[in-house]
Chain A
């Protein structure tokens, strides 16, 4: 158990809908990262937050947005969902968000868009 929690575990929805994925980092970690893993692909970095502020942005679509709240939990919002958004979404956390800081991953949320 990494100490990072993600809810829900599974999500099935229809095209055009909007969903919110939630992540609680390990106790004491200030930085949160979001990744997308599509079928047979590596993890694609989406976005990083540090202590409530956006720190780095990857290949995140404009239909996707995220935020980190004062209690340090984070939410990833996916809107106008398309079939291609079906994937595993992982959240990770680290202590200070530096690039050599170990990232601890949650179990992921499996999103299926029908």
Chain B
């Protein structure tokens, strides 16, 4: 049972444009959400998080939006840069439960 889903395995975006990565979840108990970025041959790196009491969190070029009613999370990257090319994982948790990860979206920024 995939509780966190990233339905787009890949996404290509022109450099300088906005990249939007999407994530859906099924467990309404989740109250903390994160995005991780992963380069080849490296471990995932924490990018940004959001608590369920908020609907938006910004950190520089990265903004995460949370729509609790739709059980939907998105990551916006503006403007997209070549160094943003990586695999992006969303993850969710609640209480003392483990982090549940999505399967990832490979983002390619086209120069």
Work out how many contacts link A and B, with CB atoms closer than 8 A.
60
How near does chain B come to A36, taking the closest CB pair, in angstroms? Answer: 11
- The answer for the CA separation of A40 and B9 in the assembled complex, in Å, is 9
Interface string of B85-111 (1 = CB under 8 A from A): 000010101111111111110000000
> Is A65 engaged at the interface, CB distance under 8 Å to the other chain?
no
Asked whether A107 lies within 8 Å of B44 as measured between CB atoms, the reply is no
Q: Which residues of A are found within 8 Å of B100, using beta-carbon distances? A: 45
State which size class the interface on A falls in: 20 to 34
Interface of A (DSSP majority class): loop
State which size class the interface on B falls in: 20 to 34
> Is A105 engaged at the interface, CB distance under 8 Å to the other chain?
yes
Known contacts A102-B46, A105-B43, A105-B44; A42 and B93 CB within 8 A of each other: no
Q: Which residues of B1-18 have CB atoms within 8 Å of chain A's CB atoms?
A: 4, 6, 9
> Is B32 engaged at the interface, CB distance under 8 Å to the other chain?
yes
Q: Which residues of B are found within 8 Å of A2, using beta-carbon distances? A: 43, 45
Q: Which residues of A are found within 8 Å of B42, using beta-carbon distances? A: 107-108
Q: Which residues of B are found within 8 Å of A58, using beta-carbon distances? A: 98
Asked whether B41 lies within 8 Å of A42 as measured between CB atoms, the reply is no
- The answer for the CA separation of A42 and B87 in the assembled complex, in Å, is 11
Q: Which residues of B are found within 8 Å of A21, using beta-carbon distances? A: none
Known contacts A56-B96, A99-B96, A103-B99; A42 and B4 CB within 8 A of each other: yes
Chain B interfacial positions (CB closer than 8 Å to A)? 4, 6, 9, 32, 36, 41-46, 49, 51, 89, 91, 93-104
Chain A interfacial positions (CB closer than 8 Å to B)? 2, 4, 35, 40-45, 48, 55-56, 58, 90, 92, 98-100, 102-108
